[in-house]
């Protein structure tokens, strides 16, 4: 079985796949250590899959019975508040960065 490096396989994958389709096999090596075998697929070796039918109606999957909230929720207000908090945090980070830069520049001129 011919050896092929990972780099060779990556750079010429289509070539090696054509070779495999024609019946050749390759040992893929990484730093001279064999890591995989690339060869034709044996169609006769089918997996022994067992299909297990669902015990409940799939249409009900993902449905959760929740109690009513009891009060309306203003999702727009929640979203605006979340974005305002995010913007305030970003403004604080930017302000801190500007102040740190000013301190560095002021300190640099004094020396």
Q: Is residue 52 a part of any domain in this protein? A: no
Q: Which two tokens stand for residue 46?
A: 């089918």
How far is CA 10 from each of CA 30, 62, 70, 89, rounded to the nearest angstrom? 12, 41, 59, 45
Q: Is residue 88 a part of any domain in this protein? A: yes
Q: Is residue 80 a part of any domain in this protein? A: yes
Smallest Cα–Cα separation from 26: which of 54, 49, 9, 4?
4
Q: pTM score > 0.75 for this model? A: no
Q: Is residue 57 a part of any domain in this protein? A: no
Q: Is residue 91 a part of any domain in this protein? A: yes
79: containing domain? 72-110
Q: What is the pLDDT of residues 91-110, one digit of tens each?
A: 999 999 999 999 988 876 65
What does the DSSP assignment read for 23-47?
T--EEEEETTEEEEEE----TT---
Q: What is the pLDDT of residues 58-71, one digit of tens each?
A: 888 888 888 887 88
CATH number of the domain within which 13 lies: 3.40.1620
| Structural domains of the chain, count | 2
């Amino acid at each position: 079985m011919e050896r092929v490096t990972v780099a060779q396989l990556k750079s010429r994958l289509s070539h090696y796949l054509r070779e495999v389709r024609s019946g050749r096999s390759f040992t893929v090596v990484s730093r001279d250590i064999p890591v995989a075998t690339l060869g034709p697929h044996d169609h006769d070796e089918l997996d022994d899959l067992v299909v297990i039918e669902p015990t409940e109606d799939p249409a009900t999957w993902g449905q959760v019975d929740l109690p009513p909230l009891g009060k309306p929720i203003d999702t727009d207000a929640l979203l605006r508040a979340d974005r305002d908090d995010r913007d305030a945090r970003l403004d604080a980070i930017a302000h801190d960065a500007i102040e740190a830069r000013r301190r560095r520049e002021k300190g640099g001129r004094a020396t």
